[in-house]
Amino acid sequence: MSTPHQSPLPVLVRDATEADMVQVHSIYSYYVTRTAASFEELAPGVDEMIRRRAAILERGMPYLVAEDHGEVVGYTYAGPWRPRSAYRYTLEDSIYVAPFVQRRGVGRALLGGLIERCTGMGYRRMIAVIGDSANQSSIALHRAMGFRQEGVLRGVGLKFGRWVDVVMMHRVLDDGAGMLPDGQIAPPLPEDSPQS
């Protein structure tokens, strides 16, 4: 059965504040307790959500919310893809939209804002690690925003009594291939050098 088409919701995408974390907590709790989109099994409290936002901001990375008439209806942020220093120009995105506004353009507005912000900050790549290969709305959103599916890690999570996949997607933010951040040409890797 198809869902009737609804017009896009005209949301304001802005930097998240600490006061927003109560509504962010409510949105995230839904995904933790009812879906396999998050591999957490117990919803963190508001204080923990405040701590997590602060950790993202301390790294100088964006944490955004979508607001509709004063209500937070979604959020997104970028964090480090991996901790090792060579990954410092690659980010991982996280995005969650309130279930009652899904398919209203909120995710597109949020992810578009995040991509624009991260590109402007000089980051080169963004990785999406999508919980559950059945999460077609997130996969479709990322694809529509220029991400390419790179692979599926089958059955790497166990949630709600079933094995859950992870879908890996990737987007180029800055196509300065072969150029280092200061504009110099990147040297080739030695042939005998490990590339992992």
d(CA 137, CA 145): 12
The count of structural domains within the chain is 1
DSSP result, 74-121: EEEEEEES-SSGGGTTEEEEEEEE-GGGTTTTHHHHHHHHHHHHHHHT
Domain presence at residue 84: yes
Domain presence at residue 195: no
d(CA 140, CA 165): 16
Domain presence at residue 88: yes
Beta bridge partners of 179: 185
Domain presence at residue 134: yes
Question: Taking Cα atoms as reference points, which of 120, 143, 117, 114 lies closest to residue 130?
Answer: 143
Domain presence at residue 180: no
Domain presence at residue 148: yes
d(CA 72, CA 9): 12
Domain presence at residue 188: no
pLDDT for 2? 43
What is the pLDDT averaged over residues 123-147? 96
| Model confidence band, residue 179 (pLDDT cutoffs 50, 70, 90) | low
Which tens digits make up the pLDDT trace of 143-161? 999 999 999 999 999 999 9
Which tens digits make up the pLDDT trace of 28-80? 999 999 999 999 999 999 999 999 999 999 999 999 999 999 999 999 999 99
For position 118, which CATH number holds?
Answer: 3.40.630.30
pTM score, whole prediction:
0.88
Domain presence at residue 86: yes
Is the pLDDT score of 3 beyond 60? Answer: no
Give me the domain span that covers residue 136.
12-172
- Provide CB contacts within 8 A for 98, sequence distance 6+: 26, 27, 30, 72, 73, 74, 106
- Specify the 3-state DSSP secondary structure of 184: coil
